[in-house]
């Protein structure tokens, strides 16, 4: 992929995902800027060729593209709204925001309309693939937004992804991500329960898992998460219980707003909300099957 020498990409939020994306962009010869509230994260970014910034305003002023990796839709909206004057002052220097956060469809639609009115672009582009995918440039990205904005942003998107899927207009990427994470949350529970059943019936859970992964019951959760983080008792995938709870809650709220009847998903949402695991625990803790309580 040819990279324009004058393409400057700012990454806002250098957590477990944002840092990997920033490092990947720098490795692929983009002029990469980074901002985070943590000085430790800024230092790690600088060690990988990412230019650390002291303010959000700098990122909005200097970047042609901005990649967001933030915890919530509220954070995304605040960052944009706090820098509206800079966006207004940029004139014909067009900025496209690529929001990789798992956000909310309505918030993304509002921000896209707001930025379009100022001559800028906004793509809701949540990702799947975890910190390893971010660090290797092999994320899957589900994208909502205008065709023109997507076409202009493709060099940056291709640098970060192995698969980039345009789902539809603004908000569509967020909807797809919530569907994906709702299924992942369900698979974590059902795979765990299946292995509990195998154990209770006297079958080696690892043998049962091999069968599942060779047959129709498999999922990415069973093929990757269970062997890597659950069966090994590592529980360190890099994605927290709190974030998965948030995503399941957002999916449940979307179902309620759209009058979608999801009886099994309602139970999944209750299980995640009512789990004793702390928000800071890794979400793979939900897959622990060794207790038969």
Q: Which of 177, 196, 246, 252 does the annotation list as catalytic?
A: 177
Give the chain's radius of gyration (CA, Å). Answer: 20
Contacts of 118 (CB under 8 A, 6+ apart): 84, 87, 88
Q: How far apart are CA 268 and CA 144, in angstroms?
A: 26
- d(CA 195, CA 218) in angstroms, rounded, equals 12
Measured CA angle at 188 (ends 187, 189), to 5 deg: 90
Per-residue H/E/C for the chain = CCCCCCCEEEEECCCCCHHHHHHHHHHCCCEEEEECCCHHHHHHHHHCCCEECCCHHHHHHHCCEEEECCCCHHHHHHHHHHCHHHHHHCCCCCCEEEECCCCCHHHHHHHHHHHHHCCCEEEECCEECHHHHHHHCCEEEEEECCHHHHHHHHHHHHHHEEEEEEEECCCHHHHHHHHHHHHHHHHHHHHHHHHHHHHHCCCCHHHHHHHHHHCCCCCHHHHHHHHHHHCCCCCCCCCEHHHHHHHHHHHHHHHHHHCCCCHHHHHHHHHHHHCCCCCCCEHHHHHCCCCCC
CA gap 187, 217 in Å, rounded: 10
Respond yes or no: is residue 177 known to be catalytic. Answer: yes
- Residues annotated catalytic, as ranges: 177
């Amino acid at each position: 992929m040819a990279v324009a020498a004058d393409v400057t990409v700012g990454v806002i939020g250098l957590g477990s995902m944002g840092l990997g994306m920033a490092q990947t962009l720098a490795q692929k010869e983009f002029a990469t800027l980074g901002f985070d509230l943590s000085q430790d994260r800024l230092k790690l970014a600088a060690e990988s060729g990412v230019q650390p910034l002291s303010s959000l305003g700098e990122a909005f002023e200097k970047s042609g593209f901005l990649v967001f990796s933030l915890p919530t839709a509220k954070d995304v909206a605040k960052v944009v709204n706090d820098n509206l004057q800079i966006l207004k002052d940029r004139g014909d220097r067009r900025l496209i925001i690529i929001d990789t956060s798992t956000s909310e469809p309505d918030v993304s639609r509002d921000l896209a309309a707001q930025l379009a009115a100022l001559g800028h672009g906004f793509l809701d582009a949540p990702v799947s693939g975890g910190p390893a995918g971010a660090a290797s440039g092999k994320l899957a990205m589900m994208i909502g937004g205008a065709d023109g904005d997507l076409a202009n942003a493709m060099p940056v998107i291709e640098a970060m992804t192995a698969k980039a899927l345009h789902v539809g207009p603004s908000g569509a990427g967020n909807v797809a991500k919530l569907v994906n994470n709702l299924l992942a949350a369900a698979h974590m529970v059902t795979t765990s329960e299946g292995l509990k059943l195998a154990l209770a019936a006297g079958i080696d859970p690892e043998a049962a898992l091999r069968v599942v992964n060779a047959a129709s019951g498999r999922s990415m959760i069973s093929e990757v998460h269970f062997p890597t983080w659950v069966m090994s008792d590592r529980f360190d995938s890099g994605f927290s219980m709190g974030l998965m709870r948030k995503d399941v809650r957002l999916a449940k709220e979307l179902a309620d707003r759209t009058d979608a009847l999801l009886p099994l998903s309602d139970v999944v949402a209750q299980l995640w909300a009512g789990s004793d695991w702390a928000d800071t625990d890794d979400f793979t803790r939900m897959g622990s099957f060794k207790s038969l309580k």
